[in-house]
Amino acid sequence: MNLGEEIDRALDFVTVASFRVFGFTFNINETLIISWIVMLILIAGSLLLTRRLKTVPRGPQALLEAAVEFLNNFSRRQFGRRAKVYGPYIGTVFLFLLLANIIPVLSPVGVSFGGNRYEPPFTIKPPARDINLTAALALISILMVLLGGLWARGIKGWAKNLLAPMPMMLPFNLMEYIIRPVSLCLRLFGNILGAFIIMRLLEAVIPVAVPPLLSLYFDFLDGLIQALVFVFLTALFVAEAIEADERNG
């Protein structure tokens, strides 16, 4: 298989099943399947880690409480008294993206031996390489920015803010509600897809011992960085929408 075919495979989305409802065709592809698996892992993990909690935390419970406390502190710094509203969303998106981005580390790789290429029975591809997923997450985040601004300032205050610092800025302030989700979407999509393509090319041209080592960066470290960037920018946009006095209130 040449490099062009490897890139085509990286960009391909395998359809697992299709069904029609009211004349519309709905496809269940590998992006949906892997996303569901990630969500099931997170749900199962939360149920297991929160069973039989002890007054004095030890082991996994201590790590869990430290992570929750870190999230609570971050949310309070960003959102003030509204931390309980936005903190759970920020934490959920981070955990989803983190696991979704690093899960390809578990994917088996192909082997070249004796001039032949042996493909693995299946591959685990990061869901964020699908622009539909990143667009959906970006739209949800910007919707929270919009609703958060309306909730914190009221319709009148929100409309007045669109005219700040001067009325002529109205078109540019409105454009932010388009530019920001596009930026969130394309940044996450581009970085994850680029890292995934690089890994596929490395698997095609480099011996089998090298790709697993490089995947520690392209899959794990890069996946962590992209999850952090997406969550940090979302928190920044929401905090800006609800104003500084809300964060400090």
Residues 221-240: tens digit of each pLDDT: 888 999 999 999 999 999 98
pLDDT of residue 245: 45
Mean pLDDT of the chain: 83
pLDDT of residue 121: 65
pLDDT of residue 115: 60
| DSSP H/E element including 33 | helix 30-49
pLDDT of residue 98: 93
DSSP 40-104: HHHHHHHHHHTTT--SS--THHHHHHHHHHHHHHHHHHHHGGGHHHHHHHHHHHHHHHHHHHHGG
pLDDT of residue 248: 41
CB–CB of 215/102 below 8 Å? no
Residues 33-77: tens digit of each pLDDT: 999 999 999 999 888 888 888 877 777 888 888 888 988 899 998
Checking if the pLDDT of 153 tops 60, the result is yes
Global confidence as pTM = 0.85
Of the candidates 205, 200, 88, 68, the residue with the CA atom closest to the CA atom of residue 144: 88
State the average pLDDT over residues 14-41: 87
pLDDT of residue 5: 67
Residue 120: half-sphere exposure toward Cβ, Cα within 13 Å: 13
Burial class (CB in 10 A: 0-12, 13-18, 19+), 237: buried
Residues 91-148: tens digit of each pLDDT: 999 999 999 998 888 877 666 555 666 666 667 888 999 999 999 999 999 999 999 8
Of the candidates 99, 144, 126, the residue with the CA atom closest to the CA atom of residue 194: 126
Checking if the pLDDT of 6 tops 80, the result is no
pLDDT of residue 247: 43
Of the candidates 168, 109, 108, 152, the residue with the CA atom closest to the CA atom of residue 243: 152
Which stretches does DSSP call E strand in the chain? 15-21, 24-29, 111-113, 116-118
State the average pLDDT over residues 195-218: 74
pLDDT of residue 119: 65
Degrees to nearest 5, angle at CA 119 with 117 and 121: 160
For residue 232, list its beta bridge partners. none
Of the candidates 153, 150, 210, the residue with the CA atom closest to the CA atom of residue 177: 150
pLDDT band, residue 249 (cuts 50/70/90) = very low
Q: What one-letter code names the amino acid at 108? A: P
